[in-house]
C-alpha cells in the first residue's frame, strides 16, 4: 500500500512538470555542454605519495632533489682505469673490485685497474668491458684500443640537483613516475580529483550472475560507469536504490554531502513512474536543464546543489555511455584542470541519411580518417559500443550526407592516442 502512495505522488508531480515543461525548448548539445561547464573551476591541489600518482595532473614547480646519476658509475661490468695509463702492449695491475652498493673507495693511482659493475673509483675515467680484456693473474691485458670516458655514466650528466623538472601540467604516466622515482622524488603536488557517486534506479534490475526471472533486466550501467571512471584514473561508489522517490532523495542527499558529482541512472524520462527529477528536487538540487535535442540521451538531466553537479542519465545503457562521454567526462577533466580532447574530423565511408530533427551520436569505427557507421544503433544496445571506437555526430536534417562528408567524431577515451 505504501508503494502505491508513492507511485500516486510521483504521477501527480510528473504531470505538473510535464505541463510546465512542454513549452520549454530542448537544448542543442553544444548549449547543454556550455551549461554543464559554466563557471566550473578546478578543485585545487593536494600532495600525495608518488605511488598514487598514476594519471594525476602535476601542478606547481618541481625541482630535482639530487643529481642523476648520483655518482660516477660504470655502464657495464668491466675494469675501470685512467686512460692516460694505457699504451699498446702495456698491462695494468688489478688491485680490487667494486660491486653495486659498494663505496667507490680510494683514488685510483698510476697503472692500476679496478673490476667494477657499478661504482667507479675517483681518478678513473674509462671502463673497458670484460669481453675486451685478457686477465693473467693480476695483470690486465687490453685486447683493443679503449676510448677515453667510454662506458662511464658521470655524475649529474642527466639531471643536476635543483634543475626544474618540465612535467608541470602533465598527467603522470608510468614513465614519468619512473623518472621521478629515479630522482628520489617521494611526494608530488597534483590536482585534486573529483569524488563521484553513482546511484542506479530500477526495481526490475538484477545483478549479472543472478537469475533474471520473468521481468528482470541485468544491471550494466553501474559497472560501466565505474569502469569508465577507472579508465580515467578515478574511482566512485555505486549503489542501487530502486524506484522509490523518498529513498532516492535520501540517498542523493547523502551522496552529495560526500562527493563532488552525482550520477543517477534511469528514471529521467516523461513516464509517470520516473522518480529521479522529483527525488532530486526534494534533495535540494536545482534543475539547470532537462532534455537535449539528441539521440541517444535525449532525457538528460543536469542540476546543481551549491557547487555540486548532478546528472540524471537515461536508463538505456548506450544512452548512459553517450552522455558520459559528451557531458560528464568534459566536466571531470575541467575540475582537474585538464584539457578534454576535441572531436576529430572524420569523413564518411559511405553516404548516410540523417535521422530527423535531432542530432544523432551514432556508434562508429574510424580507420585512416574514414568513419564507418555500425549497426545496432538502439539506445539499449551496447554491442557496437564495445566493438566501435567512438561516436559520430550526425547533424539534424533530411538530405542524405554524401560519401566523404566531414563530420565530428568523438573517440572513446581508452582508444585515444
Tens of pLDDT, residues 138-183: 999 999 999 999 999 999 999 999 999 999 988 899 999 999 999 9
CATH number corresponding to 45-67+163-191: 3.90.105.10
Strand partners, 348: 371
pLDDT score for 257: 97
Classify domain 73-153 at the CATH topology level: Molybdopterin biosynthesis moeA protein; domain 3 (2.170.190)
111 vs 89: CA distance, rounded Å = 13
387 vs 385: CA distance, rounded Å = 6
Cβ–Cβ < 8 Å for 126, 82: yes
The residue ranges of every structural domain in the chain are 2-38+194-335, 45-67+163-191, 73-153, 344-415
| Residue 202 pLDDT level (bands cut at 50, 70, 90) | confident
pLDDT score for 14: 43
Higher pLDDT, 64 or 109: 64
pLDDT score for 336: 94
pLDDT score for 19: 54
Burial of 175 by CB count in 10 Å (0-12 exposed, 13-18 middle, 19+ buried)? Answer: exposed
Kindly state the average pLDDT of the residues 372-396.
90
What kind and span of H or E run contains 96? strand 91-98
The average confidence (pLDDT) of the chain is 89
In this predicted structure, the answer to whether residue 2 has a pLDDT above a threshold of 70 is: no
Three-class SS state of 277? helix
In this predicted structure, the answer to whether residue 195 has a pLDDT above a threshold of 70 is: yes
| Residue 102 pLDDT level (bands cut at 50, 70, 90) | confident
Residues whose CB falls within 8 Å of the CB of residue 5, separated by 6 or more in sequence, listed in order? none
Cβ count within 10 A of residue 131: 9
pLDDT score for 23: 56
Three-class SS state of 370? strand
pLDDT score for 380: 85
Q: What is the pLDDT of residues 238-285, one digit of tens each?
A: 999 988 889 999 999 999 999 999 999 998 886 656 789 999 999 999
DSSP letter at 26? P
261 vs 363: CA distance, rounded Å = 26
363 vs 352: CA distance, rounded Å = 13
C-alpha cell at 282: 526534494
Classify domain 2-38+194-335 at the CATH topology level: Molybdenum Cofactor Biosythetic Enzyme; Chain A (3.40.980)
- Percentage of residues of the chain with pLDDT beyond 70: 92
What kind and span of H or E run contains 112? strand 112-116
CATH number corresponding to 344-415: 2.40.340.10
User: Any idea how long the chain is?
Assistant: 417
pTM, 2 dp: 0.80
C-alpha cell at 347: 569523413
Three-class SS state of 193? coil
Q: What is the pLDDT of residues 368-377, one digit of tens each?
A: 999 999 988 8
402 vs 344: CA distance, rounded Å = 18
Q: What is the pLDDT of residues 10-26, one digit of tens each?
A: 444 443 355 555 556 79
Task: Tell me how far CA of residue 242 lies from CA of 206, 213, 225, 262, 301, in angstroms.
Answer: 11, 17, 18, 16, 18
Amino acid at each position: 500500500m505504501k508503494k502505491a502512495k508513492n507511485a500516486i505522488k510521483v504521477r501527480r508531480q510528473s504531470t505538473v512538470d510535464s505541463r510546465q515543461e512542454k513549452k520549454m525548448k530542448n537544448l542543442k548539445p553544444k548549449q547543454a555542454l556550455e551549461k554543464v561547464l559554466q563557471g566550473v573551476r578546478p578543485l585545487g591541489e593536494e600532495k600525495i605519495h608518488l605511488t598514487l600518482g598514476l594519471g594525476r595532473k602535476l601542478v606547481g614547480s618541481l625541482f630535482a632533489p639530487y643529481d642523476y646519476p648520483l655518482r660516477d658509475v660504470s655502464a657495464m661490468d668491466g675494469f675501470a682505469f685512467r686512460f692516460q695509463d694505457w699504451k699498446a702492449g702495456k698491462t695494468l695491475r688489478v688491485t680490487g673490485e667494486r660491486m653495486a652498493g659498494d663505496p667507490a673507495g680510494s683514488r685510483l693511482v698510476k697503472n692500476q685497474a679496478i673490476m667494477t659493475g657499478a661504482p667507479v673509483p675517483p681518478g678513473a675515467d674509462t671502463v673497458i668491458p670484460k669481453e675486451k680484456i685478457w686477465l693473467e693473474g693480476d695483470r690486465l691485458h687490453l685486447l683493443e684500443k679503449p676510448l677515453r670516458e667510454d662506458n662511464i655514466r658521470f655524475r649529474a650528466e642527466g639531471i643536476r640537483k635543483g634543475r626544474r623538472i618540465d612535467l608541470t601540467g602533465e598527467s603522470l604516466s608510468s614513465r614519468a613516475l619512473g623518472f621521478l622515482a629515479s630522482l628520489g622524488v617521494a611526494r608530488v603536488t597534483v590536482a585534486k580529483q573529483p569524488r563521484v557517486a553513482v546511484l542506479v534506479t530500477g526495481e526490475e534490475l538484477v545483478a549479472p550472475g543472478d537469475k533474471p526471472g520473468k521481468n528482470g533486466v541485468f544491471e550494466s550501467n553501474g559497472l560501466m560507469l565505474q569502469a569508465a571512471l577507472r579508465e580515467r584514473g578515478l574511482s566512485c561508489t555505486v549503489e542501487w536504490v530502486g524506484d522509490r522517490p523518498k529513498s532516492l532523495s535520501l540517498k542523493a542527499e547523502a551522496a552529495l554531502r560526500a562527493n563532488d558529482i552525482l550520477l543517477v541512472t534511469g528514471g529521467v524520462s516523461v513516464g509517470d513512474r520516473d522518480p529521479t527529477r522529483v527525488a532530486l528536487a526534494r534533495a535540494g538540487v536545482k534543475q539547470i536543464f532537462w532534455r537535449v535535442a539528441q539521440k541517444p540521451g535525449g532525457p538528460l538531466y543536469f542540476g546543481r546543489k551549491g557547487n555540486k553537479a548532478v546528472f540524471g542519465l537515461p536508463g538505456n545503457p548506450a544512452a548512459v555511455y553517450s552522455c558520459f562521454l559528451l557531458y560528464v567526462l568534459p566536466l571531470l577533466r575541467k575540475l582537474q584542470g585538464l584539457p578534454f580532447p576535441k572531436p576529430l574530423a572524420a569523413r564518411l565511408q559511405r553516404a548516410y541519411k540523417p535521422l530527423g530533427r535531432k542530432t544523432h551520436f551514432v556508434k562508429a569505427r574510424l580507420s585512416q580518417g574514414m568513419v564507418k557507421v555500425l549497426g545496432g544503433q538502439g539506445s539499449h544496445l551496447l554491442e557496437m559500443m564495445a566493438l566501435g571506437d567512438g561516436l559520430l555526430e550526425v547533424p539534424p536534417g533530411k538530405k542524405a550526407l554524401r560519401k566523404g562528408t566531414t563530420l565530428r567524431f568523438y573517440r572513446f577515451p581508452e582508444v585515444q592516442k
